[in-house]
Chain A
Amino acid sequence: MEATKEAKPVANKIKLGHVHFSGCTGCLVSVADIYQGLLKILDDYADLVYALTLVDVRHIPEMDVALVEGSVCIQDRESVEDIKETRKKSRIVVALGSCATYGNITRFCRGGQHNQPQHESFLPIGDLIDVDVYIPGCPPSPELIRNVTVMAYLFLEGNEEQKALAGRYLKPLMALAKRGTTGCFCDLMNDVINQGLCIGCGTCAASCPVRAITHEFGKPQGDLNLCVKCGSCYGACPRSFFNFDVIPEFESISELIADALR
């Protein structure tokens, strides 16, 4: 009997990790909801070197890309050490989901609950370490996580052309990381409507996970008491970022990503 050999040489996989802070694991579920695409990514492009939910590796190892979920409780010493360790061990730190990017629901924490009533202050990871890329969303879309993972691979392991494309693709998500660590419906007021940029397209209302946004005479109307401060609406808005060097290439880029996962 002949021994079967792996048909495709698997070389230069990047090291991918999932680091869990004060999150709900919903972001990791979104990663898993890439479905067979995730298996393809793990077959050909990335080794999952760390993820307490899935892998029996106890301590944070060296990673090319760290997908970091959840915010950080600054009264929890271990969490604070872990986020610093994550930055030290990773080439690219991705804030995965709205808790890591903007604090999200943990913005409302104020302690006083058993059995750590003093655990009252939670910060998005960007307030403690430099973050390279944001994937906002509560939950984050599996498709965006997939795109960022494929692009990060191309950025680190691709040829010059692929590197350039990946750089262009990731740029607005890097710019979001530079912009700040707060997300809210008010982003639409402060940075879109107040800036004379809103065109009433309705995208913000579609993206809001809690239906806090409606449109009155074509303009966003936010129910601030419903808003969980996930920052999705501003991210999805075509007048937050609209990069003409990428989005008009939607046909070829969608194909490239589909091909990579075929």
Chain B
Amino acid sequence: MVSDPYLGKYTTCISARSTDREILKKAQDGGIATTLMVYALEEGIIDGVIVAGEGDLPWKPRPFVAMSRKDILKAQKAKYNISPQISWIKEATRSFGLDKVGVTGVCCQIQAVRKAQLYPINMRDVPGKIAFVVGLFCMENFLYDSIQAIVEDHTNQSLSSVKKMRIGKGKFQVYTERGNVATAPLQATHKYGQPGCYVCLDYVSNLGDISTGSVGSPDGWSTVFVRTRVGNDIWSKAVDAGLFETKPIEEVKPGLELVMKLAKIKLDGNRKTLEERRNFGVNKALRDPYA
């Protein structure tokens, strides 16, 4: 067990991608989150999972409870704006009648799940029914209007023509259905970030059973942290079942070093923001949720 102040607790870190061609076709990276949840569903480890599906506007996510492979696949690809995943967590154990709930989401949403497990406040039944949690790496998120401004104004693309969005190598990249690629420098997107993200002290979903993201691995592959006993159990079974190609993280470029570098940038930067909040006014502080 490694316990790192920036990367959290984990037993193993690997670079991996799914062997499922249908999943890979639409995956943001290595198709890890989708493949894991489909596997968990088919093995009866979960009987449903909260995912970020398509909403009522192009590239606006809508959280929903998926209970089939087909529905889980509908949630593929990163949508860079808010999807209130946890709003379904109690309902999944009510009208959906689930016993073993899966959750996908970014770091703060995984934190919310763990808080609900230890301090369930009007969250009856939730603590015992969380079965499998896959967390995504997250640097920051945007509001829907922000994503509209970035895509439509800064990269000059029509949102409804976009096939995929990516943040990497200092750029916000937009790929259109007809094959065009447009980018905006990441610097230009900073003012559009969700304010609440600047006090976040988690980059690689430290509290997931398994966490995954693109940073550290080559295109089409994902970096994966296997963290809890639940995560270890599912990961080893899924690998044995031939669901993933894996490489030790030490053997891939840019590898863990870049993950660490970005984690430091995020956490150290946000710690500074928290510090500044302590003296934000004159003899007045803004609230610190971690105090």
Enumerate chain A interface residues (CB-CB to B < 8 A): 30, 33, 136-144, 147, 169, 172-173, 191, 195-203, 205-209, 215, 217-219, 230, 232-233, 235-236, 238-244, 246-248, 250-251, 253-254
A218 and B81 within 8 A (CB): yes
B118 and A147 within 8 A (CB): yes
Q: List 28 A-B contacts (CB under 8 A).
A: A139-B122, A140-B121, A141-B124, A141-B127, A143-B126, A143-B127, A196-B196, A197-B289, A198-B196, A200-B83, A201-B85, A201-B86, A201-B105, A201-B108, A202-B109, A203-B86, A206-B86, A206-B123, A215-B82, A217-B82, A218-B144, A233-B122, A235-B121, A236-B122, A242-B115, A242-B289, A248-B8, A248-B207
Q: Which of A232, A243, A246, A254 contacts B121 (CB 8 A)?
A: A232
B82 and A207 within 8 A (CB): no
A254 and B82 within 8 A (CB): no
B245 at the A/B interface (Cβ < 8 Å)?
no
Enumerate chain B interface residues (CB-CB to A < 8 A): 8-9, 60, 63, 81-91, 105, 108-109, 111-112, 114-124, 126-128, 141, 143-145, 194-201, 206-207, 228-229, 286-287, 289-290
A254 and B118 within 8 A (CB): yes
- Shortest Cβ distance from A38 into chain B, in angstroms? 15
Contacts of B84 in A (CB 8 A): 200-202, 205, 215, 218
Q: Which residue of B lies closest to A217 (CB)?
A: B144
Cα-based distance from A242 to B201 in the complex (angstroms): 11
The CB with the most chain A CB atoms within 10 A, among B109, B122, B199, B290, is that of: B122
B120 and A206 within 8 A (CB): no
- Shortest Cβ distance from B201 into chain A, in angstroms? 8
Contacts of A233 in B (CB 8 A): 122
Contacts of B127 in A (CB 8 A): 141, 143, 254
A201 and B109 within 8 A (CB): yes
Contacts of A199 in B (CB 8 A): 82, 108, 141, 194, 196-197, 200
The CB with the most chain B CB atoms within 10 A, among A147, A173, A217, A236, is that of: A236
Q: Which residue of B lies closest to A193 (CB)?
A: B196
Cα-based distance from A246 to B118 in the complex (angstroms): 9
Q: Which residue of A lies closest to B127 (CB)?
A: A143
A248 and B114 within 8 A (CB): yes
Given the known interface contacts A236-B122, A248-B207, the answer about A202 and B289 at a Cβ–Cβ threshold of 8 Å is: no
A191 and B287 within 8 A (CB): yes
- Shortest Cβ distance from A229 into chain B, in angstroms? 13
Contacts of B122 in A (CB 8 A): 136-141, 207-209, 230, 232-233, 235-236
B124 and A142 within 8 A (CB): yes
Contacts of A173 in B (CB 8 A): 119
- Shortest Cβ distance from A74 into chain B, in angstroms? 27
